[in-house]
């Protein structure tokens, strides 16, 4: 009668290691999600989406996709209307219709949320 021997260490590596079958699939999916998030990200924020890193975890491999930009929270969550005042200078300086404008106070209308990370994840699935 034939005997079946299962190499549980190999099965565990295939299922739980970042270099195993499931980990490699996780990396491909995370790469695709990051690429799609870059398409939805505004301005230079797309350049600040780091390549995904797959790590082993208690439930198997998981991927971390990081955005290294100081304003990412404001973009993803949006902002309410607010005032902007200069911090270190006497006036704010910006361009409107090709002209340089100075102001001591700007009433910003706020921004609507742009959750480009979740949009990228959903589009990659």
Residue 48's CB: how many other CB atoms inside 10 A? 16
| Domain boundaries, given as residue ranges, for the chain | 8-77+112-124
E strand intervals along 1-125: 53-55, 62-64, 82-84, 92-96, 99-103, 106-108
Given this model, what pLDDT does residue 112 score?
96
Q: DSSP letter at 28?
A: H
The confidence band for 19, taking pLDDT boundaries of 50, 70 and 90, is confident
Evaluate if pTM is beyond 0.75.
yes
Share of the chain above pLDDT 70, in %: 100
pLDDT digits (tens, 9 = 90+) for 41-100: 999 999 999 999 999 888 889 999 999 999 999 999 999 999 999 999 999 999 999 999
Q: Is 124 helix (H, G, I), strand (E, B) or coil?
A: helix
């Amino acid at each position: 009668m034939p005997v079946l021997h299962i190499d549980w260490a190999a099965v565990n590596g295939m299922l739980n290691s970042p270099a195993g079958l499931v980990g490699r699939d996780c990396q491909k999916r995370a790469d695709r999600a990051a690429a799609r998030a870059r398409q939805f990200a505004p301005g230079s924020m797309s350049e600040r989406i780091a390549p995904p890193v797959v790590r082993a975890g208690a439930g198997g491999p998981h991927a971390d996709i990081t955005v290294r930009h100081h304003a990412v929270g404001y973009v993803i969550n949006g902002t309410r209307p607010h005032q902007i005042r200069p911090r270190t200078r006497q006036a704010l300086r910006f361009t409107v219709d090709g002209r340089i404008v100075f102001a001591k106070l700007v009433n910003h209308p706020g921004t609507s949320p742009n959750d480009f990370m979740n949009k990228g994840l959903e589009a990659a699935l």
